[in-house]
Structure formats: structure tokens, C-alpha cells
């Protein structure tokens, strides 16, 4: 199988926000916490850790943020017209983005190498072999 070629283009569901990811994420993680289940409208969410200067966004994004149990702020950017989530970040660490990579054109990127918050995971989902597993926040 060919390897993933960078840059990769991505866009929200309606296309109002588009972006380009210039290089491979440092890590791709699946989070099984209840917040991520709600966010993804699924059993877990997938996040790609990338440097902010390695993604170029176009279009208008809205903001929302919440305080995590850790006390950190989780800020979110999303498309105001279709609601698709683009990325999360901690405002105290703005150089690190937690990209929601499922809207990239090459979806092979959404292959987590680590699973976190498996203490809240749905019973029917079996963690694949060969990935790192964390009960909570690593
Ligand atoms: Zn949109
Ligand atoms: Zn989570």
C-alpha cells in the first residue's frame, strides 16, 4: 500500500472551511471518554496531534470551550454553517492543535496508535492489537 502523501487537503462537511495538513501528525489517538462520545456522535473520537504552523485553514470558524476535569480549557473550532468540528486546542498551548482528522481527504490517517480513557469505552468495542492503551488521560 502506498504511504500517505503530504500535504493532505481537508474540509468540513459543507466545504465552507477547508484546510491543508502539511506533514504527518506526531501522533493519532482515539479517546473513549464520554465527552468524546458526545462530540463524535459515536463510540470514540480520533485526534491527530499537529503543530499549529503545519496546518493552513481557510474559511470562517466558530469557537466553543469547556473546562476539563484536569482544569485545562479545551477550546474547539467548528464550522458555523454545518457544525463539523475542525480542531481542539488548549489556549495555554496554542502551538499544539488537536486536529479532528476524519475530514481529511485521505482517511487512512484516522488509524490510532494509542487509545485513551478506555475506562469509559463501550463494551462491544475491542481495542486492536499493537496499540498503546491508557485507562484515563496519559
Ligand atoms: Zn461546514
Ligand atoms: Zn475524550
**Model confidence over 13-55: pLDDT tens digits?**
999 999 999 999 999 999 999 999 999 999 999 999 999 999 9
**Model confidence over 79-111: pLDDT tens digits?**
999 999 999 999 999 999 999 999 999 999 999
Q: Residue 76's pLDDT is what? A: 97
Q: Residue 91's pLDDT is what? A: 95
- CA of 79 relative to ligand 1 center, distance in Å: 5
- CA of 65 relative to ligand 2 center, distance in Å: 14
- CA of 35 relative to ligand 2 center, distance in Å: 6
- CA of 82 relative to ligand 1 center, distance in Å: 4
Q: Residue 42's pLDDT is what? A: 96
pTM for the model = 0.93
- CA of 76 relative to ligand 1 center, distance in Å: 14
Dihedral sign computed on CA atoms, order 11, 13, 15, 16: negative
Note whether 115 and 127 are within 8 A (CB).
yes
Q: Can the peptide bond before residue 7 be classed as cis, meaning omega within 30 degrees of 0?
A: yes
Nearest bound ligand to the CA of residue 84: 1
Nearest bound ligand to the CA of residue 46: 2
24/55 Cα distance (integer angstroms): 11
* The pLDDT of residue 75 is above 70: yes
Nearest to 9 by CA among 17, 27, 111, 18: 18
- CA of 18 relative to ligand 1 center, distance in Å: 9
* The pLDDT of residue 1 is above 70: no
Q: Residue 69's pLDDT is what? A: 82
Amino acid at each position: 500500500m502506498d504511504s500517505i502523501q503530504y500535504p493532505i487537503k481537508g474540509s468540513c462537511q459543507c466545504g465552507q472551511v477547508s484546510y491543508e495538513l502539511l506533514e504527518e501528525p506526531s501522533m493519532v489517538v482515539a479517546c473513549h471518554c464520554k465527552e468524546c462520545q458526545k462530540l463524535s456522535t459515536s463510540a470514540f473520537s480520533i485526534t491527530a496531534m499537529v503543530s499549529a504552523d503545519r496546518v493552513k485553514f481557510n474559511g470562517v470558524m466558530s469557537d466553543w470551550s469547556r473546562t476539563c476535569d484536569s482544569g485545562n480549557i479545551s477550546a474547539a473550532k467548528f464550522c458555523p454553517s454545518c457544525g463539523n468540528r475542525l480542531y481542539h486546542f488548549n489556549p495555554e498551548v496554542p502551538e499544539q492543535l488537536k486536529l479532528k482528522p476524519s475530514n481529511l481527504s485521505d482517511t487512512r490517517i484516522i488509524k490510532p496508535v494509542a487509545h485513551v480513557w478506555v475506562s469509559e469505552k463501550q463494551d462491544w468495542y475491542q481495542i486492536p492489537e499493537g496499540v498503546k492503551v491508557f485507562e484515563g488521560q496519559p
